[in-house]
């Protein structure tokens, strides 16, 4: 049974669900994502150069395919356009930087390949549904809560490891007083 064909309008309305997280780290074998040579070369290039201004013509040159052929191959093998893959890679890297470092939005935008802080904030808001600094604050609060819980658990375990306090017989003390 053939899967239902979707129209272009339905594909545009569908929120992107990216399933190719394995291209995010640079040292990952991109072959595990797809067997298409042009797409594989393009994904490797995107993963290694996401911070540079990348045009579709750059990917065409790297893949050795035509613009239309590359776009069709991306849609066939990944389900997304090269631009949406690049945006996803950049946003994931921005999330990582926001959690790990305390940089200005301008610096984060530059590290992730955006030309301006405003462009970065708009792209981040569209992708995640929240502003970059709110994402950072929420992530840091979550990490802090986990740290505090772990700290409390370790104190609790230490108290359980101590030998139990000897129970004194309180009856002789009450009789004498």
The domains of the chain are located at: 18-134
User: 138 is written with which tokens?
Assistant: 């929420």
Give residue 91's pLDDT: 94
Give residue 112's pLDDT: 93
Give residue 67's pLDDT: 95
Tell me, yes or no, if the pTM score tops 0.95: no
Give residue 42's pLDDT: 92
Give which of 10, 24, 6, 32 is closest to 85, Cα–Cα. Answer: 24
Report d(CA 117, CA 9) in Å as an integer. Answer: 31
Give residue 68's pLDDT: 96
Residues of the chain with pLDDT under 70: 1-33, 156, 158-177
Give which of 104, 125, 38, 102 is closest to 73, Cα–Cα. Answer: 38
- Assign a CATH topology to domain 18-134: Arc Repressor Mutant, subunit A (1.10.10)
Give residue 124's pLDDT: 96
Q: How many residues does the chain have?
A: 177
- The pair phi, psi for residue 107, each rounded to 5°, is -70, -40
Residue keyed to tokens 């984060």: 108
């Amino acid at each position: 049974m053939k899967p239902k064909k979707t129209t272009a309008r339905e594909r545009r309305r569908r929120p992107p669900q990216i399933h190719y997280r394995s291209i995010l780290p640079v040292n990952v074998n991109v072959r595990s994502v797809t067997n298409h040579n042009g797409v594989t070369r393009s994904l490797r290039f995107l993963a290694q150069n996401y911070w540079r201004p990348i045009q579709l013509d750059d990917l065409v040159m790297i893949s050795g395919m035509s613009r239309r052929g590359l776009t069709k191959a991306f849609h066939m093998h990944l389900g997304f356009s090269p631009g949406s893959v690049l945006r996803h890679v950049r946003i994931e890297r921005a999330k990582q930087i926001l959690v790990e470092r305390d940089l200005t939005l301008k610096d984060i935008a530059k590290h992730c390949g955006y030309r301006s802080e405003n462009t970065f904030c708009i792209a981040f808001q569209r992708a995640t549904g929240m502003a970059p600094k709110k994402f950072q604050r929420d992530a840091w609060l979550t990490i802090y809560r986990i740290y505090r819980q772990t700290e409390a658990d370790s104190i609790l375990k230490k108290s359980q490891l101590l030998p139990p306090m000897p129970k004194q017989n309180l009856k002789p003390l009450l009789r004498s007083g």
